Structure 1
Amino acid sequence: MIQPYQFNLIEEQIFQLVRTYQSVNDPQTIQTIEGMTKDVVVRQFNPQDDQALLIINEMFQRGLSIKKAEAHLSDLKTYVEPFPAPTIKQTEKLFRKVKKLKVPDFDDFDLQETTYLAWDDIGSQSKYLIATENEGYTAVHGHLSTEVKKGICPICQHESNVSMFLSLTKSSGDGTYTKRGNYICRDSQRCNQQLTDQAHLAEFLKLVKMKEN
């Protein structure tokens, strides 16, 4: 099984390969790019995932088109492990300092495309994020600006419509609080679909996560 962000990376690599097949004529160049792409893709899987590797091999054909690639990727998506959505009680515990927390129905999310759960509370202009960490969860919430602009999201590393997310972070020792944040994707679903490296998400959460007593 693979994680949603790994599937996104595979999808990105395969579509780049299709563009190579369509635009490059030099056999040596194609062979080099094929080798590099296959190395990245195969490394996402356990060597024991024989059926998944068979699907991958089908994609490395010189006549591969976008339509064929999408069909193979659809088959490969069955190997994606869905995000383990928390229960309502777990969610309330993660945000225990939030009064009148509005928990969405996580069944409405495509959990096979979810590396982190996120939703907005328009009434309070707040955004909530939940990610997995050490077989449990880590979570953060903060204010989301109504201003939207073009920028690079630090979570998915893609240019998107972004808004400023700010959370209160407790300064160590002196009991004071500071606001920390960055411009992130306004559309968290799209951000999840573009995320190919979980490390960027971890770095962002480390920056903005509230330090508890």
Structure 2
Amino acid sequence: MCEPFIRNHEYNFIKKQADYVLYALRTVGDPKVLESVRLNAQAKVAELFPDLRDHRRTMLESISDLRTAEDFQKYLQALEPYLIEFPAITNKQIQKLFPKNKKLKLPDLAQVDFRYVSYLSWIDISTNKMFIVYPAAGGQFVGLEGRFTANNKKSYCFACNRIEELALFSAVSKKRPANASPDYYKSVGNYICMNGHECNKNMTDVSSLEKFIDSVLG
């Protein structure tokens, strides 16, 4: 039985390294350069899981031995049973994350493949709001609700660092300075993918998303 140990963003990172090697195989004629690309990909993948010492490490490091597009496809498919799914969540749990929103529009959880999710997001066009749910440390979920403003152009998403169609997500910060007045208000915003599914496919690091969540929730 496979024990999952690869998170979605880590799988995407491995896939990105595999793409680099495959591209080099197709375009690089110098064997030394090609070998350097192979070993670099192998080292970067190994760095994701420094404590692995069993067959899983061998499996991951075999990225340097692949030769054809079919080899790479089989390599990535072999990793899929080891993917850690986004923690199970129900509509009731989501509603509790946004207690002030009595008419909360809920995502269609039945349509989500949670193996490939780092964060859950959806948009309510009727209220121009975006909602984000993220599994924080300790097994607890956190929820962000913010104003959604379409950007109508492609640029870099702060969460996945890829060029996509973006929206400005603006949320009210819960952080309050000492001795703040009762009417203190601060909005925290950043540009994020309009399509959460594509963003999750692109993510290779969750640190920017976690930093943004912390800037809102404290």
Q: Same fold (TM over 0.5)?
A: yes
Matching of residue 200 in structure 1 with residue 201 in structure 2 = no
| C-alpha contact (below 8 Å) 2:152/2:165 kept by paired residues | yes
Aligned alpha-carbon RMSD (Å): 1.9
Aligned-pair CA distance for 1:179:
2.1
- Aligned residues with identical type, % of pairs: 26
What are the within-5 Å matches in structure 2 for residues 172-191 of structure 1? 172=177, 173-175=180-182, 176-191=184-199
- The equivalent of 2:52 in structure 1 is 47
Distance 1:77 1:195 in 2: 16
Measure, in 1, the Cα distance between the counterparts of 2:68 and 2:214. 40
In the TM superposition, 1:144-163 aligns within 5 A as: 144-163=148-167
Q: Residue 18 of structure 2 is aligned with which of 14, 19, 26?
A: 14
- Specify the alignment match of 2:65 in structure 1: 61
**Quick one: structure 1 residues 32 and 147, their matched pair in 2 at CA, closer, same or farther if it must change by over 3 Å?**
closer
> Which region of structure 1 is more displaced relative to structure 2, 18-27 or 181-190?
18-27
Unpaired runs of 5+ residues, structure 2, are none
Change over 3 Å in CA distance of 1:49–1:99 after alignment to 2: farther
Counterpart residue type for residue 194 of structure 2: R
| Deviation string, structure 1 residues 171-200 (Cα, Å, up to 9, x no partner) | 432232122201111111100110001111
Structure 2 letter corresponding to 1:88 = N
Cα distance in 2 for residues equivalent to 1:100 and 1:82: 28
Give yes or no for contact 1:85–1:106 (8 Å, CA) kept in 2.
Answer: no
- The alignment partner of 1:145 has SS state of strand
Distance 1:201 1:91 in 2: 19
Structure 2 counterpart SS, 1:56: helix
Distance in 2, matches of 1:138 and 1:180, equals 16
What is the TM-score with the length of structure 2 in the denominator?
0.87
Q: Which ranges of 4 or more aligned residues in structure 1 deviate by more than 4 Å?
A: none
* Unaligned 5+ runs, structure 1: none
In structure 2, what is the equivalent of residue 165 of structure 1? 169
Are the aligned partners of 2:8 and 2:116 in contact in 1 as well (CA < 8 Å)?
yes
Displacement of 1:54 after TM fit?
Answer: 4.4
Matches within 5 A, 1:24-103: 24-45=28-49, 46-50=51-55, 52-61=56-65, 64-103=67-106
